[in-house]
Amino acid sequence: MITFYHAPWSRSSTILWLLEELGAPYRIEHVDIRAAGGVPEDYRSIQPNKKVPAIDHDGVVVTERAAICSYLCDAFPEAGLAPAIGSPMRAPYLTWLVYADSIFDPVLAAKAHGHEFMGGGYSYGSFSEMIANLERTLSSRPYIAGDRFTAADTQIGGGMNYAAKVLRILPDKPVFAEYLERLAARPAFKRSAEKDFELARQAGMVKPA
C-alpha cells in the first residue's frame, strides 16, 4: 500500500495525478501546510523540510517529485508511464522529470513573486528561457518526452496547468493550450482534479457559493 502525504492544491497535486494514472492502491495522509502553527514537527521524520509530496510504499519512504515518479513507475511498470531502459524516450523522460523540480518549479516561483531572473549565482535560468524551451519542445512532439504520454507529463503538464489556471503567468500560446487540452482529456487527470477539489473543500479552502 502507498501512503501519500499530500496537501490539496499544492506541488503534490501532480503526484496525485500520477497515482491516478498508475491505478495502484493508495491512501492520502493530509499534511496541512497552511496551518497557522506550521506543519507538525514529527512530519520531519518523513520529509526533512516538512514539504509535500512524500510517499511511504510498504515502509520505503521517497521524497521529491522526480524521485517519487521514477520510483513509482519502476514499481508499477504495467502502467507504462516510463520508457524502458534503452528506449530513445528514456533520456528525455528523465531529463524532463528532473527539469520539473530543478528548473521549472523554482523559475515559476520566482516569476510569481515578481522576479524574472535571479542572477548567475542561482542554479536555474530565466522565465523566458524556460518558456522558450517548453515551446520549442512541444512544437516538435505531442508530449513532453516524445510521441506518447509519460509520468513526465504529469509533472510538467501539471505545473503548466497550475501556471495557466491559478498563477495566470503562463503565456497564451496555441501550442501550450493544445498540450493542456490533451492532458485535461485524460480520465485520470479529471479524477485527480475532482479528488483535489474535495480535499480542498474539506480543508476549508473552498469558499461557499
Find the domain containing 122 and state its range.
90-188
- Residue 191 is predicted with a pLDDT of 98
Of 32, 52, 80, the position where a domain reaches its end is: 80
* Cα 25 from Cα 22, distance rounded (Å): 9
Average pLDDT, 10 consecutive residues per value, the chain (209 residues) = 97 97 97 93 96 97 98 97 96 98 93 78 84 98 98 98 95 98 98 96 82
- Per DSSP (E only), the strands in 7-67 are 26-30, 54-57, 60-63
- Residue 125 is predicted with a pLDDT of 84
- Residue 204 is predicted with a pLDDT of 87
In degrees rounded to 5, what are phi and psi of residue 5? -90, 115
In a domain, 195, yes or no: no
In a domain, 104, yes or no: yes
How many domains are contained in the chain?
A: 2
Q: Whole-prediction pTM value?
A: 0.94
Claim to verify: residue 114 and residue 144 sit in the same structural domain: yes
Claim to verify: residue 171 and residue 99 sit in the same structural domain: yes
- Residue 119 is predicted with a pLDDT of 66
Of 80, 115, 136, the position where a domain reaches its end is: 80
Of 80, 109, 139, the position where a domain reaches its end is: 80
Q: Which of these, 83, 123, 78, 73, lies nearest to 103 by C-alpha position?
A: 123
In a domain, 97, yes or no: yes
Claim to verify: residue 104 and residue 157 sit in the same structural domain: yes
Which CATH number goes with the domain that contains 68? Answer: 3.40.30.10
Q: Which of these, 159, 15, 156, lies nearest to 73 by C-alpha position?
A: 15
